[in-house]
Structure 1
Amino acid sequence: MARLSPLEWPVLRQLRSGDSLGRGPAVTSPTTRAVRPRNATADRVVQSICPYCAVGCGQLVYVKDEKVIDIEGDPNSPISRGRLCPKGSASEQLVNAPGRQKQVLYRAPKAKDWQHLDLDTAIDMIADRFIESRRNGWQELDDQGRKLRRTMGIASLGGATLDNEENYLIKKLFTAAGAIQIENQARI
C-alpha cells in the first residue's frame, strides 16, 4: 500500500481546498472518488412497473447486454415518486435468480418426476380441463325448476399483483363461464 503524503493529510486538504467544515472534497478518499454507480455501464434504461402488488410503483430497469443489471424506483412515477418497498427493491433478484424456472413443468398424476412441456401444449391442457370442469359441475336448474346457469366446478382466487384492469377482465371471464366463486387475495 502506498504511503500517504503529508500534503494529503485531511487537515491540510481541508485548508488547501477551502472546505472549512470538512464535509466536502477535503474528506473524500481516493477510493470514494473512484466509486461509480453500478448502473453507469447500462446500455439502456426501460420503464416498468413493480410486479409484487397492485400499487403499481414505477421502476427503472437498467439493461446491459440484454441482461438486467439493476432496478431502481422511477422518480417520475406519480405513484411512488422514486421509492420502492423492500420487495420492489429486490426485483432484480427475482429476474436473475439462478433457480428461476423458464420452462413449463408438468407432473402427471401419481408421477414422481416433472417433465418439460411447450407452452402451447400446457395452455391446451388447461383449457381442456377448464371446459371439462365447467361441463361436469354445470347446474342449469335448481330443485324447483328455476334457472341457475352456473358451475360449481370452477373457482377463481386472484392475486394482489394484478391491477384493476386485469382483475376486471378475470371477473368478466369467470362470470361468463358461469363461475360464482370469484375471490381476490386482497379481500381475504
Structure 2
Amino acid sequence: MRINRRDFVKLTTAAAATIAAVPAFGGLGKAFANTAEERAMQLSPKWTKQTTSVCAFCSVGCGLLVNTDLKTKRAVNVEGNPDHPINEGSLCAKGASSIQMTENPDRPGKYLYRAPFSDQWEEKDWDFCKKRIARLIKKSRDESFEKKNAKGQVVNRTMGIASLGSAALDNEECYAMHSFMRSIGLVYVEHQARI
C-alpha cells in the first residue's frame, strides 16, 4: 500500500481524535479540561500573588506574569503578559520554560571544587562556594584598588575585576548586581545583551 504525505497526516489526525474520544483512555480531552480547571483554581488570588517581570533569556525583554504561592513564597506559574507591548502575552519556548530557572528539582545542590595544584575534584555545598567567591573578590579588589589616578584625582576604583552580566537575570537582579559592582569600585561592568 502506497501512501502520500497528505493521506498520512489525515490518518494520524483521525487516529488521534478517535483515541482521545474513547472512554477506555479516560477521554483525554475531558482529562485535559479538568487539569486546566484545576490549574486555574490553583492560580486563584486566594492562593497566589501575581507580579510582573521580564524574561531573562535574551535581550528582547518579553513581559511575564509570575504567580507566587502565598504560603511557600515559591513561583507556581509563569506565563506571558498580555498587556506587555513587546510580546503581547506570547512567549518562545525558552520564555515559557523560565520557571525552571528557579523551581527545578533537578538543579544540583552540591558543586565540584578542585583546589589549586590538585588533580582531584571535591563536592562542596553552596555556603563554601559563596564564602570562597567573596574571599577572592575581596582579595582581587584589595590588590588592584586605586584611590587616585596618575593626575592625583580621587577615583576609588578597581581595574583588576570586571563584571559580565547574565541573560538569566531579570531587570531587578541586573539593577542589584550593577549597584553592588559599582559600590565595590568596578569600572568594567557589561551585560551580554550589549555585546
> Cα gap change, 1:167/1:102 in structure 2, threshold over 3 Å: closer, same or farther?
same
- Structure 1, unmatched stretches of 5+, are 1-27, 63-67
The residue that corresponds to 2:175 in the other structure is: 168
For the 8 Å contact 2:56–2:167, the answer to whether it is kept is: no
Q: CA deviation at 1:81?
A: 5.2
Answering whether residue 132 of structure 2 is matched by residue 125 of structure 1, we say yes
RMSD of aligned C-alpha atoms? 3.6
TM, length-normalised to structure 2: 0.59
State the distance in 1 between where 2:129 and 2:68 align. 30
Aligned residues: 154
For the 8 Å contact 1:71–1:91, the answer to whether it is kept is: no
Higher helix share: 2
Q: CA deviation at 1:112?
A: 3.4
Answering whether residue 90 of structure 2 is matched by residue 83 of structure 1, we say yes
Q: CA deviation at 1:40?
A: 6.2
Q: Helix, strand or coil for the counterpart of 1:123?
A: helix
Sequence identity (%)? 31
Answering whether residue 36 of structure 2 is matched by residue 29 of structure 1, we say no
State the distance in 1 between where 2:156 and 2:112 align. 35
Between 148-157 and 43-52, the greater mean CA deviation after superposition: 43-52
For the 8 Å contact 2:167–2:192, the answer to whether it is kept is: yes
Answering whether residue 154 of structure 2 is matched by residue 147 of structure 1, we say yes
Q: Is the radius of gyration larger for structure 1 or structure 2?
A: 1
For the 8 Å contact 2:162–2:186, the answer to whether it is kept is: yes
The residue that corresponds to 1:16 in the other structure is: none
Answering whether residue 112 of structure 2 is matched by residue 105 of structure 1, we say yes
- Structure 2, unmatched stretches of 5+, are 1-19, 70-74
Query: Could you report, residue by residue, the CA deviation over 1:88-143 in whole angstroms, capped at 9, with x for unpaired residues?
Result: 23446665575x31223322234334322233222121111111100111122333
State the distance in 2 between where 1:101 and 1:86 align. 23
